[in-house]
Amino acid sequence: MASGYSELKNARIEGIRWDTQDTATVRVSLLEEEGRKSYSFKPGQFNMLYVPGVGEAAISISSTPEGSGVIEHTVRAVGYITRALLNLKEGDFIGFRGPYGNWWPVESIARRNVLVIGGGIGVCPLRPAIYYLLKNRKKYSSVKILYGSRTPKDLMFPDEYSSWRDSGAEVHITVDRGDENWRENVGVVTTLLNKVDVKPENTSALVCGPEIMMKFTAIDLVMRGIKPEDIYLSMERRMKCGIGLCGHCQFGGFFVCRDGPIFTYNQVEKFLNVKGI
């Protein structure tokens, strides 16, 4: 696996599927057969995707860890690199390195009740964990997925919720603002916690979304008796090298790329950004 910044075009765009107005899933395959065979990742890890002549961004893997040879990344067009990535076409080449970072502790939380809580496109790095948990559903006491977005049009992967339910998950969806067709919950994602039976002593929570959403979700979970060390949050900071060398992603005493992106709430509580409250 490449281990530093590289302009090498070593991957091919297999397709781009628009999920919402500003977010699309980019399907990528590695060019070299050897790399294709050996590539594997754990739920929650990310890759560094380089758009030739534009730049490189950290993007979480959103597909199943089972590995079909095509790796999915769900990208919101927010700036120069992500817009350029989403302007590419099937057959275009990009630079690819990874996987990097730690992962959701899906193996060590076996036999526990698992709460998966996503906000906005934060559900994308959780999606590989959801696939893993549901494929191994019998290993967990319960799997409850709580997901919220701003409006019904911003919901990611709406076609998958019924298969998540069929695979043994309790799934609750909410939006901040409904429309005339919306029949489910309205309110921020923490309001869904009132709809589920939370057994604090044996529950682990996997949480990803805007930092402020993760902060309030973690506070709520702690108030319900869940230990801070059983609450896992996936953090984002601006990245450059992705491998612990440049310091761009400094987060308190941590580097997000090297020590994260997944941290327990007790590790990061005092560094969480609550600007804008």
Ligand X SMILES: Cc1cc2nc3c(=O)[nH]c(=O)nc-3n(C[C@H](O)[C@H](O)[C@H](O)COP(=O)(O)OP(=O)(O)OC[C@H]3O[C@@H](n4cnc5c(N)ncnc54)[C@H](O)[C@@H]3O)c2cc1C
Q: Which residues pair with 27 in a beta bridge?
A: 15, 72
Shorter beta-carbon distance to ligand X: residue 79 or 244: 79
Residue 241 carries which DSSP code? S
Instruction: Tell how strand 55-60 and strand 46-51 pair up.
Output: antiparallel
Single out the segment in contact with ligand FES by CB under 6 A; choices: 20-28, 150-158, 204-212, 239-247. 239-247
Shorter beta-carbon distance to ligand X: residue 72 or 220: 72
Q: Which residue has 């994260």 as its token pair?
A: 260
Measured CA to CA, the distance from residue 109 to residue 184 in angstroms comes to 30
* Residue 95 binding ligand X, by CB under 6 A: no
* Residue 237 binding ligand X, by CB under 6 A: yes
Shorter beta-carbon distance to ligand FES: residue 254 or 265: 254
Measured CA to CA, the distance from residue 242 to residue 24 in angstroms comes to 23
Shorter beta-carbon distance to ligand FES: residue 67 or 244: 244
Residue 85 CB, shortest distance to ligand FES, in Å, is 18
- Size of residue set near ligand FES by CB under 6 A: 12
Query: Residues 138 to 167: which contact ligand FES by CB under 6 A?
Result: none
Measured CA to CA, the distance from residue 52 to residue 38 in angstroms comes to 24
* Residue 60 binding ligand X, by CB under 6 A: yes
* Residue 57 binding ligand X, by CB under 6 A: yes
Cα angle, residue 260 at apex, residues 257 and 261 outer, rounded to 5° = 85
Single out the segment in contact with ligand X by CB under 6 A; choices: 14-22, 126-134, 173-181, 230-238. 230-238
* Residue 242 binding ligand FES, by CB under 6 A: yes
Instruction: Tell how strand 170-175 and strand 185-186 pair up.
Output: parallel
Residue 82 carries which DSSP code? H
* Residue 236 binding ligand X, by CB under 6 A: yes
218 binds, among ligand X, ligand FES, none (CB under 5 to 8 A by kind): none
Residue 62 near residue 234 (C-beta atoms within 8 A) = no
Measured CA to CA, the distance from residue 26 to residue 218 in angstroms comes to 30
Nearest to 234 by CA among 201, 267, 202: 267
Residue 261 near residue 44 (C-beta atoms within 8 A) = yes
Shorter beta-carbon distance to ligand FES: residue 36 or 258: 258
Integer-rounded Cα Rg, in Å, for the chain is: 18
* Residue 81 binding ligand FES, by CB under 6 A: no
Residue 194 CB, shortest distance to ligand X, in Å, is 29
* Residue 80 binding ligand X, by CB under 6 A: yes
Sole binder of ligand FES in the list 33, 89, 181, 247 (CB under 6 A): 247
Measured CA to CA, the distance from residue 158 to residue 5 in angstroms comes to 36
Which residues contact ligand FES (rule: CB under 6 A)? Answer: 239-242, 244-249, 255, 257
Which residues contact ligand X (rule: CB under 6 A)? Answer: 46, 57-60, 73-76, 78-82, 101, 124-125, 236-239, 256, 261
